[in-house]
C-alpha cells in the first residue's frame, strides 16, 4: 500500500484564478478565470491535480458560490468529475443554506453524486 492510499486529500476551488497559468492581465475581465462555472471548475481541478501530483482528490470543496452559476451546472460538472475519477466526493462551503439544500435535493432527485460535507 502506498502513502496516497493512507491519506484523505482535500482541496478547494472558488473565485481565485491566480494559480492559473494565465498572467494577471489575461485573468482581468476573463469570465472563466473564477467562479463556479464548468470551465473554471475543470481548470481548477486540473491545476490542483498537477500541483498535488496525484490522479484524484478525495474531497473537493466548492469554497464559495458565485451567486450566478446555476446549481444544476455545478452539480453536473461535479458529477462528471466523480464519474471520470478525478474526485471521489465533494462538499460546499461559504454558500447560503438554501443553495446547498437545493443542490442536495436536485442531486437526490436526479440520482447524481451528492455533497457529503457542508
Q: Structural domain of residue 82, as residue ranges?
A: 3-117
Phi and psi of 73, rounded to 5°? -65, -45
Provide the number of structural domains found in the chain: 1
Does 28 score more than 90 pLDDT?
no
Residue-wise pLDDT tens digits, 47-93 = 999 999 999 999 999 998 889 999 999 999 999 999 999 999 999 99
Q: What is the DSSP string of 68-113?
A: SS-HHHHHHHHHHHHHHTSEEEEEE-SS-HHHHHHHHHHHHHTT--
For residue 57, give the C-alpha cell: 482528490
Confidence at residue 27, expressed as pLDDT on a 0 to 100 scale: 55
Q: What is the CATH number of the domain that holds 71?
A: 3.20.20.100
**Would the CA dihedral through 96, 100, 103, 105 be positive or negative?**
negative
Amino acid at each position: 500500500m502506498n502513502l496516497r492510499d493512507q491519506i484523505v486529500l482535500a482541496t478547494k476551488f472558488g473565485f481565485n484564478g491566480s494559480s492559473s497559468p494565465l498572467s494577471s492581465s489575461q485573468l482581468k475581465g476573463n469570465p472563466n478565470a473564477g467562479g463556479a462555472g464548468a470551465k473554471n471548475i475543470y481548470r481548477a481541478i486540473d491545476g490542483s491535480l498537477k500541483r498535488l501530483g496525484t490522479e484524484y482528490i478525495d474531497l473537493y470543496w466548492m469554497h464559495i458560490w458565485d451567486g450566478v452559476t446555476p446549481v444544476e451546472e455545478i452539480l453536473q460538472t461535479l458529477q462528471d468529475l466523480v464519474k471520470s475519477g478525478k474526485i471521489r466526493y465533494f462538499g460546499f462551503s461559504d454558500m447560503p443554506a438554501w443553495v446547498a439544500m437545493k443542490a442536495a435535493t436536485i442531486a437526490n432527485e436526479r440520482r447524481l453524486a451528492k455533497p457529503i460535507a457542508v
